[in-house]
Chain A
Amino acid sequence: MSHNERHEELAALLALGASLGADGAELERHLAEGCERCEEILAEGRAAATALAAGVPAVPPPAQVRAKILSSIAPSRVPARPPVSVAAWRVLAAAAALLLVAVVLDDARLRRDREDLRSRSADLAGRLQTAETALAERTLRARVLESDDVRMMLLGGSGPQPEARGRVFWSPSAKRGVLVATSLAALPPDRQYELWVFQKGKPVSAGVFDVDASGRALFESTAFPEPEAQNFAVTVEPRGGVPAPTGPVVLVGSPT
């Protein structure tokens, strides 16, 4: 996306510290594309926004704030000198106690920072996975959809899973099919879903697949049995699949 005035507006708002809500992602993408102009607006704008603070009257802080700050950085001021007397030992012990407090405080802070980073990175990992799934789905669909003779059939939920939905894209010439399904239930470890292609009224297996944690499945069948598919169904079968359907039908198409 090339730079436009809208990006400048968003960068200005961000520099002012206003939260952008959903528009934030748009600006992020734009910055990720390496827009120097917006980077400059952000950096200079943040500094320029501090001009607003110049009109605010100064407030002399209470003396104890200064003391607190200086005492919490105090351990670094203790010179590293060998102890020479009992008095020095006392000073050192006191310093060590202070240092311990500082280390504990520091540790708590670091832990918070770490947790913060961890949650952000988990969030990013989740978003990355979503993006990768979406990309894989598009790639697969594109491969099938590029065929001149691509066809599509909607599958509806059936039996135990009325909420399930699916679409099969297939190309008789490419002998490939892609199933995209949502709202499928999680299965026990010894079970898998199996896709069936009906030809001349009889189901032929097109392979087995699993669903992800959100009930989505993206399955590309590279052993698509028959170019003249009339209908599709998905059943629950023992892991690895079976030559003929045995389990309940959870998705089925309606040939037109």
Chain B
Amino acid sequence: MSPRRDDPDGALMVRVEARDADALAELYDRHAARLLGLARRILGEGGEAEEVLQEVFLFAWRAAASFDPTRGSVLTWLLIATRSRAIDRVRSRSSSSRPEARRLDDLSLEPAAPVDVEAASAERQWEAVCRSAVGELPGDQRKVLELAYFEGLTQQEIAERTATPLGTVKTRARLGLMKLRERLRPYLGSGSRVS
């Protein structure tokens, strides 16, 4: 069963594309908190995360037609948009001083918790699968993934930060991402590969 089909987000996107502002408001109410959480995680406290959130929803309004349901869920689309905007800002300010920059080491993600998958809604289920997929990764692979995803480091910087040879960083990135893909494949929308 694909959660996408039951997901009200798809219907909302159709309405957003038809310039229905109420639909955008509903989409916002459903996802803004999660997106802001991600933006804050990357950008830290301060107004920038809120600005990113605004940009993302204006982008969703403007570019609703570019959403392709066969490539993943609406939430994934919004998360990717949020992440890329937040990282752009991190990179543009990384040349200047950034005293409030947080190190990943200081705030590790919560470990995976067992979840009653059957009882959960499609979104909760997605979230649970994600958490456990990330939690099951070997620590060193997870670290590489997190440094790239949340801090936007280059492969070279990841190697330096983790005191690991560049080749190992690349291998860990590939293996870690491959594991996530395998676990999330039923949710990723590559139709023919859904098991």
| Interface set of A (CB-CB < 8 Å, partner B) | 5-6, 8-10, 12-13, 15-21, 23, 40-41, 43-62, 65-66, 68-70, 72-74, 76-77
A3 to B57 alpha-carbon distance, docked (Å)? 38
Contact of A47 among B71, B91, B145, B148 (CB under 8 A): B71
27 contacts between A and B (CB under 8 A): A6-B170, A16-B149, A17-B84, A17-B148, A17-B152, A18-B158, A19-B155, A41-B181, A47-B187, A49-B180, A50-B76, A52-B130, A52-B134, A52-B149, A53-B41, A53-B79, A54-B131, A55-B134, A56-B34, A57-B37, A58-B36, A59-B37, A61-B53, A65-B32, A66-B28, A73-B58, A77-B21
How many chain B residues touch A (Cβ–Cβ < 8 Å)?
68
A193 to B84 alpha-carbon distance, docked (Å)? 51
Whether the pair B185, A44 counts as a contact (CB closer than 8 A) is: yes
Measured CB to CB, the nearest residue on chain B to A23 is B155
Shortest distance in angstroms between A239's beta carbon and chain B's nearest beta carbon? 48
Please name all residues of chain B whose beta carbon is closer than 8 Å to the beta carbon of A77 when the two chains form the complex.
21
Shortest distance in angstroms between B163's beta carbon and chain A's nearest beta carbon? 17
Whether the pair B170, A13 counts as a contact (CB closer than 8 A) is: yes
Shortest distance in angstroms between A9's beta carbon and chain B's nearest beta carbon? 4
A18 to B155 alpha-carbon distance, docked (Å)? 6
The residue among B75, B79, B135, B177 with the most chain A CB atoms within 10 A of its own CB is B177
Please name all residues of chain A whose beta carbon is closer than 8 Å to the beta carbon of B50 when the two chains form the complex.
61-62, 65
Whether the pair A76, B21 counts as a contact (CB closer than 8 A) is: yes
Measured CB to CB, the nearest residue on chain B to A105 is B58
Measured CB to CB, the nearest residue on chain A to B38 is A53
A60 to B150 alpha-carbon distance, docked (Å)? 20
Whether the pair A70, B83 counts as a contact (CB closer than 8 A) is: no
A70 to B21 alpha-carbon distance, docked (Å)? 7
A225 to B61 alpha-carbon distance, docked (Å)? 69
Whether the pair B189, A5 counts as a contact (CB closer than 8 A) is: no
Please name all residues of chain B whose beta carbon is closer than 8 Å to the beta carbon of A12 when the two chains form the complex.
170, 173-174, 176-178
Shortest distance in angstroms between B161's beta carbon and chain A's nearest beta carbon? 12
Q: Which 6 A-B pairs have the closest CB atoms?
A: A54-B130, A51-B130, A9-B170, A58-B33, A18-B148, A16-B148
Contact of B41 among A43, A56, A60 (CB under 8 A): A56
